Amino acid sequence: MVLALNDKWIWAFWLARNGDEWHIYFLQADKSLRDPELRHRNVSIGHARSSDLRNWTYLGTCFAPAAAPAWDDWTTWTGSVLQGPDGTWHLYYTGTGHADGGVKQRIGHATSTDMHNWQRVGDGLALDISGSDYEDYAPGGWPSRAMRDPWVMKDPNGVGGLMFFTARVQTAAEANAAGAIGFATSPDFYEWTIRPPIYRGGLFAEMEDCEVFERDRRWYCLFSASHEHWSKAYMALNPQAPVRGTHYLMADDPLGPWRIAPGPFLDGTQPCRRYAGKIVDDGTGLVFLSFLNTVPKLEFVGEVIDPIPVTVDEQGLLALRPELAAPGSKF
């Protein structure tokens, strides 16, 4: 069955595994708001666990905006969780604050010993934009500073960690071509140094909810994008009608060079049914999960779907295979 709550909407999420248990962290907001568009500024982070990615036990709220005044006293948005070399669990998240009108997205850091009770490291701020590589917010430009959705992983070629995040570059052929995947490194998962973007393909206005993983010595970076954020260059590259959904980059190494996967979006429709997908190996193969965005009546749903099997062809291209899903799956 899908992960759904009677009194809350669920949307963007991330997964972590601890032994035989999966932990899912997700953005949640009370349905008492009535209008789902209000959920983004009335958000906390929920937590559930499962042994099979289908049957979930909701554990409640595990993280929320800080008490004011703070850089993250308005929202705590999408992030990632991983275990450090000493056994400590690390949560990296997106934060915004009331003082600047919520337009400056920054990346925060909290730690835990039990994967549920999180404590900010210092004031929580882990990384902010610096230097000339990234576009900062300016009135009349993009409506907010894009620095969010951190995906953190251990460096497979060394020690410490790599961080990938949503960003925008300062120079682009058009506004819809500024979207990029930002990059930072850390020797210890505590001190982070911002680096130039790992990808600045000039294809989208923004590339949300990134996730980086390896399969058969190939590297993938999933991201989501909206139909109205396709650049002219991407529309020339992809004959598919613009859709909102999940696509991916490919590389031979996590440091790149990264290239857009050829062909249509991995999962995309207009209007959008599923968004902000993630891919994990459930022990039998790769599976895809996302949050359910709309139903035929165009109503926001706010649930996490059952896993959809994913296959990889000889060229390394990914494909969803819903016909291979377990009987009774809902997606």
Q: Hey, what are 208's tokens?
A: 């949300």
Q: Of 231, 189, 191, whose CA–CA distance to 207 is shortest?
A: 231
In the chain, domain spans: 8-324
pLDDT at 64: 98
Mean pLDDT of each 10-residue bin along the chain, 331 residues long: 94 98 98 97 98 97 98 98 97 97 96 98 96 79 89 95 95 88 98 97 96 97 97 95 97 97 96 97 97 86 97 98 93 93
pLDDT at 54: 96
pLDDT at 170: 87
Residues found in the chain: 331
d(CA 263, CA 265): 7
CA distances from 233 to 66, 68, 134 (A): 41, 43, 21
CATH 2.115.10.20 fits 8-324, yes or no: yes
For residue 236, give the H/E element and its range.
helix 232-237
DSSP assignments along 24-55, one per residue: EEEEEEEGGG--GGGGGGS-EEEEEEESSSSS
d(CA 287, CA 301): 21
pLDDT at 296: 72
Residues 6+ apart with CB under 8 A from 69: 97, 98, 99
Which one-letter DSSP state was computed for residue 307?
Answer: P
